[in-house]
Structure 1
């Protein structure tokens, strides 16, 4: 059976990525990288679909939701909205809601659905590195997927004495130690 790749776009939502009052310090970098990654992924999918020689990749847009008493990412609110939205006309693009940091924990059927579609590799980028990005990577590894984290295309908030860039590297080191690959997003879109 042919194999496919799933690109996970994690929690690039207005509250975290566009609102000047609440966005992460490196939101602009994440938005710029995200636009280029998605443009490349969509071009690859269109080429795969045209050739029909291999299963086309899948893009999974992950959108965190919370109750009003727990934070601003309330379904339907402006902070909750995605910066990058799936193309409803594209069968290869899916929207997945989540309520926990790990997308797979919030969606117990997701791993089997992806495997049934031939997915063996999951490529990840988004917000926040040490929260939903890392937890979803761990969930994917636990489910038996190969995981690739796109360095430079994930970030978070500064945390006390630790800068966001340091947290990004710590997350990459932890995931590498668990068997994930870490490549720069520029390298990924160049191949």
Structure 2
């Protein structure tokens, strides 16, 4: 089976992107980047259902975080928990993965094997929050032996008391690059898919 890539869309959920009280910094940048990335990935999948190029994703993985009260408000079935960009139904090349920890692989011990069974050897990652679930999932993927490409400009988080979100994003990118992840501007990455 040929080596393929999966696009991981991590935790782009209503609470983090829509709600004015709880949304991350730069929600417009994230929704615009994600929309364009998904549009390109889906158009390639739709045109080339018999197989994608080595550069483009062969599988779209939508990761959805869920919490339990009193720790959080992203409760299964609630509006805050819903995905802003849901997977298309009845598609083998778009899957939903639930998680309860920051690391998608820790929440889903069989995920690495499922991806390998589909020929996936590399993940291309975007989503929320940079220093939490995005970084932890990238680290989990690297530990499981997958290649990782993080799309700069397509992940974000909250401003902290000490740092702006963009500074935290850059720090996450630096940490992941020292661990072996590729950091690529999302516009440059999708230009290689077609």
Worse-matched range after superposition: 83-92 or 42-51: 42-51
2:26 alignment counterpart: 26
Give distance in 1, aligned partners of 2:151 and 2:72: 27
- Any gaps of 5 or more consecutive residues in structure 2? none
- Counterpart for residue 173 of structure 2: 172
Matches of 1:131 and 1:20, distance apart in 2: 20
Distance 1:51 1:7, change over 3 A: closer
| Segment of structure 1 superposing worse, 60-69 or 46-55 | 46-55
1:4 is displaced (CA, Å) by 1.2
Q: Work out whether residues 17 and 27 of structure 1, in 8 Å CA contact, stay in contact via their aligned partners in 2.
A: yes
Matches within 5 A, 1:112-131: 112-131=113-132
| Counterparts in 2 of 1:60 and 1:51: CA distance versus 1, 3 Å | closer
**CA offsets, 1:114-166, max 9 Å, x none?**
00110001000000000000000000000000000000000000111111000
Query: Which of 42-51 and 53-62 deviates more?
Result: 53-62
- The Cα shift of 1:46 comes to 2.1
| Superposition RMSD in Å | 1.5
| 2:115 aligned with 1:108 | no
1:48–1:56 contact (8 Å) kept in structure 2: no
Q: Does 1:16 align with 2:10?
A: no
Runs of 4+ in 1 over 3 A off after TM superposition: 50-56
Counterpart in the other structure of 1:93 = 94
Structure 1 segments unaligned to the other structure (5+ residues): none
Answer yes or no: is the 8 Å Cα contact 2:4–2:58 preserved in 1: yes
Shift of residue 56 of structure 1?
Answer: 6.6
**What TM-score, normalized by structure 2, do the two folds share?**
0.95
Q: CA deviation at 1:50?
A: 4.3
Corresponding residue for residue 49 of structure 1: 49
Deviation of 1:51 after TM superposition, in Å, equals 5.8
- Structure-1 residue corresponding to 2:149: 148
Change (3 A) 1:135 1:52: closer
Change (3 A) 1:52 1:165: closer
* TM-score calculated relative to the size of structure 1: 0.96
Deviation at residue 88 of structure 1 after TM alignment: 0.9
Give CA-to-partner distance per residue, 1:82-132, whole Å, 9 cap, x none: 000000121100000000000000000000110011000100000000000
SS at match of 1:49: coil
Residue 69 of structure 2 corresponds to 68
Residues 70, 180 of structure 1: CA spacing in aligned structure 2 closer, same or farther, 3 A cutoff? same
